[in-house]
Structure 1
Amino acid sequence: MHATPDGIPLGLSRLIQHATISQVVTSVVLVLVVRWVVRGVQRVYFHPLSRFPGPKFAAATRIPQLVAIWTGTNHTHVCKLHEKYGNIVRTAPDELSFVHPDAWRDIHGHGLKGTAGSPPPKNFTRYGNTVNGKPSMIIASDGEHQRQRRIFTPAFSDRALKQQEPLFLKYINLLVQKLKEGSQENPNHAFNMVDMYTFTTFDVMGDLTFGEPLQMLANTEYHPWVSIVFDSVKMGSRFALMFYYPMLRKVWEAFVPESFAKKRFEHFQHSVNRVTKRLEKGRESEGVDLWTLVLKQHEGKGLSRDEMDSNAALFMIAGTETTATIASGLTYLLVKNPECMRKVVQEIRSIPNEDDMHLESLAALPYLNACIKEAFRIYPPVSIGLPHLTPPQGSTIAGEFIPPGWSVTVPQLAMYTSSRNFKEPHDFIPERWMGDERFASDQRAAVQPFSVGSRDCLGKNMAYHELRLIMAKVLYNFDIELRPESDNWIDRQRVFNLWEKPPLLCKLKPVH
């Protein structure tokens, strides 16, 4: 066979020289299609995860997952897959999703002794970085996470929460005051309870983190900094798709608009400036905040300033939006279930005096706490799964050995509403948490809204106490009526890491 000086067969050389642009483009497209098909066949039939059930198209390509994430429907997409295929589903070529309750122990906990491999750590390549480059607790390596957690733990202890109780009550009482003023001015006024709860939780956490509130309740409007947070959530969820394609991510980072990077920096700098003010000038008012409790211990001195800033920014999201979300969800679920509302209101209003509402007394109300647990089950603030990566030795999850190097998740909404875990899974029935024999087979340990293990949510006790105070105060003082515009409130929502919540419009009638 004759060849050119470059070693290219002569016939092929002539073919290339005489090819038209359309023929070249067609050939390139054909090669790419053939490559895509061959790779898809390999993924479906010859891949290490090929033995796990799931749609063949999802095993062949990430397209269904990308579409679901982009459109904000991944939470329901995964629910449907698990109902069809079972406790373990291959949701993408390199990803498995688990709704068996043991997955909490095996992925997020310490695993089961005597099984092959070890628990999968977080897949840190999917979590991004902080602006200042210093990881907060949520994305720190295990060793760094443990060190930071030891420093912050005293600030979230039961003793600390009792010291912070006056601060919680200050803003929750202001919430009640604002609702009373609005309903007295106009008895038919429709409050957006999503906004009212969000104003409250951000003011509380602003005071705890920065030593001063954001004045959102006082002004009944969003602080510009908070508005930027919410505006960036959807964008961040979609940009995160680039984590699946490292080359595309590098191109994006190289050509990211300067205005985008500047806005992200300015947003982070807001937290930095407020922490600086708190450290230099102290609190604006009496009370105890996070830094009061952290810095008075010897270990607190070992926290770098960059670590203070990155964790302050973390607390302002993790300790606010999630609590406002579950308060909104519980309010909606109660107004949609009048008998449950009647029972919980009766329990709360049996308290002789509103001043007797404290952390301890509300924690002892069985029906209120059952309603909260059921709300977390049906409407978890974190509805999707957080990615972990099986280690070099692999992992045993829910009785199945998973080879090394694959992504595994526990999708909360899919687990909590699975018919394999709960009877009547889509119905709001608080009695399932109170020993009702009809639900003896429910897998109640499946519901872990704050995760489990050494990296579970540090602020879970704070969240429970704050939520109980908010709901008890509101239900003690008001009868709530849902406006027709907010019917099917949950069903209309999409998820971009967080729930994209429409207004929850309610009419409130003061009862005292």
Structure 2
Amino acid sequence: MDAILALCAAIPSLLLLRLIGAAIYNIYFHPLSNYPGPKFAAASRIPTVWYMIQGKNVQWVVSLHKKYGDVVRTGPDELSYTNAQGWRDIYGHRVRGKASFLKNPTFFPKPPNGVDSLVASSDEAHARARRIFSHAFSDKALREQEPLFQKYVDLLLQKLTDAVQDPQQKCVVNMVNMYNFTTFDIMGDLTFGDSLQLLDHSDYSPWVATIFQNIKAVTMMRATSYFPAVENLLKLLIPKSLAEKRISHFKYSTDRVDKRLSANSEHQRPDIWGMILRQDEAKGLSLDEMHSNAAAFMIAGTETTATLLSGLTFLLLANPESLAKLVHEIRGAFLTNDDITIEHLMGLKYLNACLEEGLRMYPPVPIGTTRIVPPEGAAICGKYVPGGITVSVSHYSTYYSAENFALPNSFIPERWLGDPRFEADNKLAFQPFSYGPRNCLGKNMAYHEMRLILSKVLWNFDLSLTEESKNWSDQDVFTLWDKPPLMVKITPVSKV
């Protein structure tokens, strides 16, 4: 008995010795020991997880790059890059005979049905699904959808007009909500042929309300996955309500897919599922794949677009000169609201420059999406990295690096219009929709939607920032920005 008690008493000491030994190895003998970074981060994953669950990971990584340079060791087996070459080496097309960098399974937790979406699937499954879905996101298909886009943007304008006439609102609206209502209504109709009616009710439906909590839940799940030995125990610390929200979001999505498939109305209107079902190849998509991808679309095609519009609106209102130039361009280009079309908006140079600068300063996905170096290792930015290492290019850190962009903390759309002050800017470092064969499938749709929504709002209304939103951009990040209300005073433009 005494021996058993002695052994039990020794276990904590043995575990402590093991942790100390692992930390010493990680700092001084690990294959990444010659990479710069804080010793505590090299020794343990605790700093990464701590900043992640606090919502401060983006700010932390920015500070590390400022101190240590364009490659930083952020964990025992993790590297973060801000060098433009990192996009090609990590995310780009692979040379024949070379293995690709794998999606990091801890970054993309499995959907509740256990089947990966397009976002996280294997290279083979991704290539097959992307061929099928790409038809629905082609420029031709999106032009067919213009009446749908116009319908909801004009409804947004009507809701803003109603707000002006409501004495209780005092011409002040939360533009984060208004942009979210619009993008979710568009995507709901575009994906399922059925509006979510958020603009009609001026409120979030139970489903959409769960989506924002689902994003935070995924971040918490990612944090627990850093400690596989006690992952199941740590998951108990995640509030039950967050886990339930994740399941609820998935069920809402699957129910919509099942309803859309049972309607079999692909010839009635060209929504995404109708376009997909026209293809013989789509018969190879399982129902589980349809469910997983629908859930992914309802985040990737909605919240991110509304986030950029919110961030760009704030940046414009905080920079009146840029706002005045953009308003002048938009109002000078169109005589009536109906003249504002997707095709004509593509030619507005200052509008496009503002979108690029907004994406640089407020990227909807500010963190780095991690990949795993293939087993045989690979060269990244001219230096060999062993297999199994987690690597990423951090959007926010990259776009705020003075090595890549002059005056990186300033909102200056002219940097995208040939201004000689920014001649040395490394535009290849700017990849807001990621890079390579797995870049964002909805990039064209996002640009069309952002141009149309922002232009119609600015053509019809003058906007100004309220005092309570002066520091709106001071935000935490849980994978995506945790946005507070953006309170804006709106004034209708006289059409005399």
Within 1, Cα distance between the matches of 2:469 and 2:242?
A: 34
Listed as ranges, the gaps of 5+ residues in structure 2 are: none
Q: Which moved more, 1:30-39 or 1:331-340?
A: 30-39
| Conserved? CA contact 1:118–1:396, under 8 Å | no
Question: Is 1:436 paired with 2:424?
Answer: no
> Which residue of structure 1 aligns with residue 150 of structure 2?
169
Q: 1:261 to 1:190 in 2, by over 3 A?
A: closer
> Which residue of structure 2 aligns with residue 342 of structure 1?
324
> Which residue of structure 1 aligns with residue 466 of structure 2?
483
Within 2, Cα distance between the matches of 1:437 and 1:259?
A: 52
**Alignment map for 1:18-417 (pairs within 5 Å):** 25=9, 27-110=10-93, 118-186=99-167, 188-251=170-233, 264-282=246-264, 287-350=269-332, 351-417=334-400
Listed as ranges, the gaps of 5+ residues in structure 1 are: 1-12
**How many residues matched?**
492
Q: Which moved more, 1:320-329 or 1:400-409?
A: 400-409
Within 2, Cα distance between the matches of 1:213 and 1:282?
A: 17
Q: 1:53 to 1:510 in 2, by over 3 A?
A: same
Q: Which moved more, 1:452-461 or 1:288-297?
A: 288-297
- Secondary structure of the 2:313 match is helix
Deviation string 1:35-83 (CA, Å, 9 cap, x unpaired) is 3222212111111001111111111111211111010000010001001
Q: Which moved more, 1:406-415 or 1:241-250?
A: 241-250
Within 1, Cα distance between the matches of 2:391 and 2:355?
A: 28
Q: Which moved more, 1:280-289 or 1:304-313?
A: 280-289
Within 1, Cα distance between the matches of 2:240 and 2:330?
A: 53
Q: 1:63 to 1:245 in 2, by over 3 A?
A: closer
Shift of 1:18: 8.3
| Conserved? CA contact 2:214–2:242, under 8 Å | no
Shift of 1:262: 6.2
Within 2, Cα distance between the matches of 1:340 and 1:257?
A: 43
Deviation string 1:454-483 (CA, Å, 9 cap, x unpaired) is 111100000000000000000101100111
- Secondary structure of the 1:188 match is coil
Q: Which moved more, 1:64-73 or 1:286-295?
A: 286-295
| Conserved? CA contact 1:212–1:283, under 8 Å | no
Question: Aligned-pair RMSD on alpha carbons?
Answer: 2.4
Q: 1:264 to 1:381 in 2, by over 3 A?
A: closer
Q: Which moved more, 1:248-257 or 1:399-408?
A: 248-257
Shift of 1:97: 0.4
Query: What TM-score comes out, normalization by structure 2 length?
Result: 0.94
Deviation string 1:232-263 (CA, Å, 9 cap, x unpaired) is 32233112212112232345679999987766
| Conserved? CA contact 1:82–1:89, under 8 Å | yes
> Which residue of structure 2 aligns with residue 10 of structure 1?
none
Within 2, Cα distance between the matches of 1:133 and 1:474?
A: 41
Deviation string 1:104-143 (CA, Å, 9 cap, x unpaired) is 11111025x69x9654221224321112222210111100
Q: 1:24 to 1:503 in 2, by over 3 A?
A: same
Q: 1:354 to 1:255 in 2, by over 3 A?
A: closer
| Conserved? CA contact 2:461–2:490, under 8 Å | yes
| Conserved? CA contact 1:109–1:452, under 8 Å | yes
